[in-house]
A and B are shown apart, each in its own frame.
Chain A
């Protein structure tokens, strides 16, 4: 510990503590502009200068480490005078357009001048006017050069956290201006974190521009509904209309960081066509009916099917809350007496024998329910089968920030390239499903390289070296392999690898990276075939896979374009908020509230159970989903199911005592105790060939899919902002030999079992040549079944057509 005196107060601080940190720990406020907790030090704004006795000059508090016996004055006359001077100098060129500036009322410069400034400026000369007009850097970010105070936070957040390097600075001195240029701006992920860190109104959000004054906004703290990172967001309304999403610097795992989906996708709540009344198919047409009629019809069909032990299947969207999910599985298990519950048709690999048990062992074993930030302290981070930059961008930002620590190593194995590849010490392009092979090779003893090592062998050797040298390993695993038939194998080999490294005395911790906000919560709640709430094994027998489904109850999801058509279609109940493809085929349609209209909880990837708050009330006459389940149950003479949130949560707690516990030693053991998932020992090493990228054989490639940075299933497609950023369908691939120019402007058609999909080519030289990527929403939008879940990744024939721009103009 180091002792110092600050404003007469004696402080003990850890070695390495800066004056600024020490001051804020004892409530002494020092004004800053360029400083930002997340970013590298700049110490350039000079706002935080303080007096240190014995030093000739004032020192920047943000960058000055406290030395033993330092005597610091943060409020002396000299310091106060310096602050006044600094602000006066800053204001010399700062436009005083606060009344029309979006930032007015929440501007750090305004607030700082109010608190520390002199009030007036003596400048009698004209102010600099950089530019008359604002510059739209892209569709969502606009820049007002005149207001910029050159704190460089935006440039730093873009490079250090987001990893885009889209922004930079042109010119020098007073002409310095934040800017982006052609290709670099193209790399912009439109996350808007630059807007968020801008202390003044220089960088602004286009969708929010001139929409509201901050003091008129009503804020609701809730959780983003896009992906499993589960960022805290503050949704702001004025006059009953949605205005913008921000994030509190002190809350949640994200602490102010958001991605494009989170920051700009919330307008989704106003998108799409709402279902307003229950409907029943009559003579082939959906007709509005009253609630009792619809519920009675479902109850009658369900009773009848149940009577003859017919198969009833339930399917729930991972955007439903824990409370609704719990009730849904109760409806399925207790009322319909069915174990046949699914939460993501995409994860068809979980239907293979043993897959669920393998999953349960991982979730109740090495999976950690604690902050990602603490997992990122490991000296080796292994990103397995995850496209974190696109599917969980904010987790990706945190990961990148953590990698600033030069002692840390990152291993990346993914089907798609990402910005993190560049900072990885070992990197492998791997087809989903081959994770099992990779893990088995990583832990096998045969460590010698052959005479002619392939790139894969080199990567494996490198990764093995890193893993063996690490003391603490964090495994972050994506869900893409759950789409493949090898899901069970992958899960088992991951578990085995964890055991292997654990046996060497290493700490190995694991978290999933889910692409949907409440996937983990749904599983915790028992929305999984054969798993009761709290990961208890369920004794009720599972249906035979061949048995036809007779009643299909779909809550929130829109799976049908993805489903092979059955000869005898099941009685289809669709309970959801918006019209979609599945609704078109339903026998009964029940309207529901949409994301943002109900309270409840989501469990994010970290295992944090977070509160969802409604930002507006649901449509009138709408029955809450839990109320509907209750009515169905009663109509089937099964007694009431509780509806009220608090009592539901009590039921959950009773079944699953660890529910809601987070980052506590006890939960791990408690969760473990309650579950008994048998271990299967003998694991045969898989024999996959890991090497890829050796060219596509005769135009055949593996089609992979998933979210891109503007997509997250159906929800994102309802956001008009995200849809416009997404710019329509494309096929991403590495066309192979030849200059990019020869391919630009071409169309790609994918063929598979009688289906085809055509879209413009997007060149990505970092993809392997034998894979092709199409964002999932585009495939779904076109109702293509070529993505059939059964064999993922799907082999497709690829045909390029049209002429590339072979022009010589670059």
Chain B
């Protein structure tokens, strides 16, 4: 097994306490930053380490920070996206429950880089223990001068407030998350302007994922070069993969990117629960699935994108031969339908329609033309919805239809009329 960076202390029951964290080198990255780096240099270092966001889109973190206007008189905000709701994803929870100081330290570094004095940590409401441990970590960090005014006697000051989500997957979408902090319904906002220019309270804002931020202390205590040397050039750094579904050893695994989907499911996930795998989902249910025949796909941002899927949240879900793809498609579509914010037409109305058809098919009442109808709906939603939730829903359903059409066809009543 490769070196464990993010999960180094994960089995230590007191890893969430600041003493443990400090004893294992915690807050050294922050010290280095405050001592040796100007904010701009922090951004440059993150750019050259090529850290890419772990929240889903893989956007280069340093580049995102550099969009924050330097001359704006407005306050800047940092928001940590800990809304982790993508089915099959639980890495951020583990980080926050077990080793939250990594995240807090990362937030302090990121805030320093963009000149932010107030940061919000948006944790989904179900994550009670994460909220408790993060709050404790914030309090501990405060007590030792890592938070508050003039951190470690520097000019940098920061307060972190936890904002508790309340059960809405869409709030993981960054602009919906900002709306939610502003006390509104969590609906995505029009871009441009992008959050970096006009985000929270119309002020320059950076939104980063928990894991992205948790990488920062290590990146700075060990250097950008070290960071860049892990894994493939275009997708470097330590990475967490969640493996779940019909596998023998579900769990979170830290590995460099670039292993194949098959390796992940077989070698780390421990193989299929029953017989062989039928398909694998590489990055949470929004990411199109691969049939077993394509399991040699490499698990990194670029390879997956090229193959028409995505690394997404790196939530790998194994489907073994007992899985019914129409049922999987139905359940996943119901999920997106339930979580659609309702703002845009294709997602709001289209997914409801798709779910109705899928329920009928699963119940053996599929009619000729239903699959074509589903394809039309996928086409009407994908690329046309307001935000990526609708895209993901249509994308994932489209892949199921494409690779496993025969399973749907098998459920269609032969003599039924075409629509």
Contact = CB atoms under 8 A, between A and B. Distances in A.
B352 interface: yes
Interface string B371-390: 00100110110011110000
Contact of A45 (B338, B344, B360): B344
A174 B338 CA distance: 8
B273 to A, nearest CB: 33
Nearest to B359: A125
Contact of B384 (A41, A63, A86, A175): A86
A46 B345 contact: yes
Contact of A89 (B170, B349, B419): B349
B339 interface: yes
A89 B377 contact: yes
Contact of A46 (B170, B338, B341, B384): B384
* Secondary structure type dominating chain B contacts: helix
B138 to A, nearest CB: 30
Given A63-B190, A122-B369, A150 B345 contact: yes
Given A46-B384, A86-B346, A128 B352 contact: yes
A90 interface: yes
B342 A89 contact: no
B334 to A, nearest CB: 11
Q: Which one of A57, A122, A169 has the greatest number of beta carbons of chain B within 10 Å? A: A122
Contacts of B357: 125
B369 A173 contact: no
A174 B380 contact: no
A458 to B, nearest CB: 24
Given A88-B380, A169-B185, A174 B367 contact: no
A56 B340 contact: no
Interface string B312-345: 0000000000000000000000000111111111
A122 B373 contact: yes
Interface string B167-206: 0101000000000000001000010000000000000000
Nearest to B192: A65
Contacts of B338: 173
B377 to A, nearest CB: 7
A89 B380 contact: yes
B262 to A, nearest CB: 30
B342 A150 contact: yes
Nearest to A152: B343
B390 to A, nearest CB: 9
Interface in A25-47: 33, 41-47
Contacts of B224: none
Interface string A371-391: 000000000000000000000
B239 interface: no
B350 interface: yes
Given A92-B353, A125-B360, A173 B380 contact: no
A172 B367 contact: no
Interface in A193-212: none
Contacts of B170: 172
Nearest to B336: A173
B76 interface: no
B105 to A, nearest CB: 35
Nearest to B360: A125
Interface in A100-130: 122-125, 128
A790 to B, nearest CB: 51
A176 interface: yes
A49 interface: yes
Contacts of A88: 376, 380
A172 B171 CA distance: 12
A58 interface: yes
Contact of B385 (A46, A47, A125, A128): A46
A120 to B, nearest CB: 10
Contacts of A172: 168, 170, 185, 340-342
Interface residues of B, number: 35
Given A44-B386, A56-B383, A89 B346 contact: yes
A44 B341 CA distance: 11
Looking at B185, B344, B385, which has the most chain A CB atoms within 10 Å of its CB? B344
B352 A47 contact: no
Interface string B266-298: 000000000000000000000000000000000
B348 interface: yes
A174 B369 CA distance: 24
A82 B350 CA distance: 13
A586 B356 CA distance: 74
A268 interface: no
A174 B345 contact: no
A730 B14 CA distance: 67
Nearest to B391: A57
A49 B369 CA distance: 27
Nearest to B338: A173
Given A58-B383, A63-B190, A86 B348 contact: no
A86 B380 contact: yes
A149 interface: yes
A85 interface: yes
B349 A93 contact: yes
Interface string B38-54: 00000000000000000
Given A41-B190, A46-B384, A93 B352 contact: yes
Nearest to B350: A89
A85 B379 contact: yes
Contacts of B337: 173-174
Contacts of B348: 150, 173-174, 176
Contacts of B353: 89, 92-93, 123, 125
Contact of A149 (B345, B383, B385): B345
Contacts of A33: 345
A149 B346 CA distance: 11
A43 B191 CA distance: 10
Contacts of B339: 173
A462 to B, nearest CB: 20
Given A44-B343, A58-B383, A92 B168 contact: no
A174 B379 contact: no
Q: Which of A45, A89, A169 has the most CB of B within 10 A?
A: A89
B19 to A, nearest CB: 43
Given A122-B373, A125-B353, A173-B338, A46 B344 contact: yes
Interface string A224-239: 0000000000000000
Contacts of A41: 190
Contacts of B384: 46, 49, 57-58, 82, 85-86
Interface string A52-71: 00001110000100000000
A123 B353 CA distance: 8
A172 B169 CA distance: 12
A42 B367 CA distance: 37
Contacts of A46: 344-346, 384-386
B224 to A, nearest CB: 31
Contacts of A171: 342
A777 to B, nearest CB: 40
Nearest to A151: B345
Nearest to A170: B185
Contact of A176 (B168, B342, B373, B385): B342
B364 to A, nearest CB: 15
A153 to B, nearest CB: 13
27 contacts: A43-B190, A43-B386, A44-B345, A47-B345, A63-B190, A89-B346, A89-B349, A90-B345, A92-B350, A93-B349, A125-B356, A125-B357, A125-B360, A128-B352, A149-B345, A150-B348, A172-B340, A172-B341, A172-B342, A173-B338, A173-B339, A173-B348, A173-B351, A174-B337, A174-B342, A174-B351, A176-B348
Given A82-B384, A85-B379, 14 more contacts: A46-B386, A57-B384, A86-B346, A88-B380, A89-B346, A90-B349, A125-B356, A150-B342, A169-B185, A172-B340, A172-B342, A174-B337, A174-B348, A174-B352
Please provide the 10 A-B residue pairs with the shortest distance between their CB atoms, ordered closest to farther: A85-B380, A176-B342, A173-B340, A125-B356, A122-B419, A57-B383, A174-B352, A173-B342, A44-B343, A44-B344
